[in-house]
Amino acid sequence: MECAHVRELISAAADGEASVDEHAVVDGHLDDCVACRAFAARVARFDRQVRIRPAEAVPDLVASVTARVRPAQLGRGGWMRPALAWVAVIMLVQSVPMLLFGNAGGIDAHYARHLGAFGAALGIGFAFAAWKPHRAFGLLPFTAALVATTLVSLVADIVSGTRTPLAELIHLSEIVGLTLLWMIAGSPGWRPPGRRPRASAHPPRLDPLQ
């Protein structure tokens, strides 16, 4: 076999494009051809020089990233987690009787048990976040949606005269619980007045191809 064809196969093998049979052909030829063995050694050396190079220094972006967020801090303030746990206890005390006995201010027992189930589930969620504060952020979307829809129904009941504002104070624990959950999660979406993100010590490099 001509050396020119074998050297094409050597280049293809270096690029990972040679088949098993072509590798076998190259190996058989190199056993008898000194010139092609030298060519293969040069290709391998060049391939290593191209593929293996010192790693570029990666800038430390931790400070610039954390300056833009308020990550959850376990027990930040020292009182939020106990306060959220207390809210969870209050909600369970309010909800468990409705869940078990279907008694909620004279409404149908079936609906009372549904209300008790929602309240008990929310109380359990608050208790879990107080125990595992790093999970608070994941509970925020569901909790916020549940409390928001509850507030809509609360306002509708008051406007229609079905319930009095005093009777609706029972939902205050849900609002307090959501607020504490949001604070424990790092107060996402809120930045203290006057606080600006710090510039990175390593400004991003421009891509010369852009």
The residue ranges of every structural domain in the chain are: 3-51, 72-184
Mean pLDDT over each residue of the chain, to the nearest integer: 78
Note the pTM of the prediction, 2 decimals: 0.54
Burial class (CB in 10 A: 0-12, 13-18, 19+), 163: middle
For 30-63, b/e burial (b = at least 16 CB within 10 A) is beebeebeebbeebeeeeeeeeeeeeeeeeeeee
Q: How confident is the model at residue 89 (pLDDT cuts 50, 70, 90)?
A: very high
User: DSSP code of 103?
Assistant: -
Q: How confident is the model at residue 88 (pLDDT cuts 50, 70, 90)?
A: very high
Report which of 90, 87, 93, 89 is spatially closest to residue 181, judged by C-alpha positions: 87
- For residue 137, pLDDT beyond 70: yes
| pLDDT one-digit tens code per residue, 156-190 | 888 888 777 777 777 888 999 999 998 888 887 77
| pLDDT one-digit tens code per residue, 185-204 | 888 777 656 555 444 444 44
Instruction: Provide the strand spans (E) within 37-186.
Output: none
> Are 120 and 114 a contacting pair, CB within 8 Å?
no
* Long-range contacts from 192-200, C-beta under 8 angstroms, 24+ separation: 197/64, 197/67, 197/68, 198/63, 198/64, 198/67, 199/64, 200/59, 200/61, 200/63, 200/64
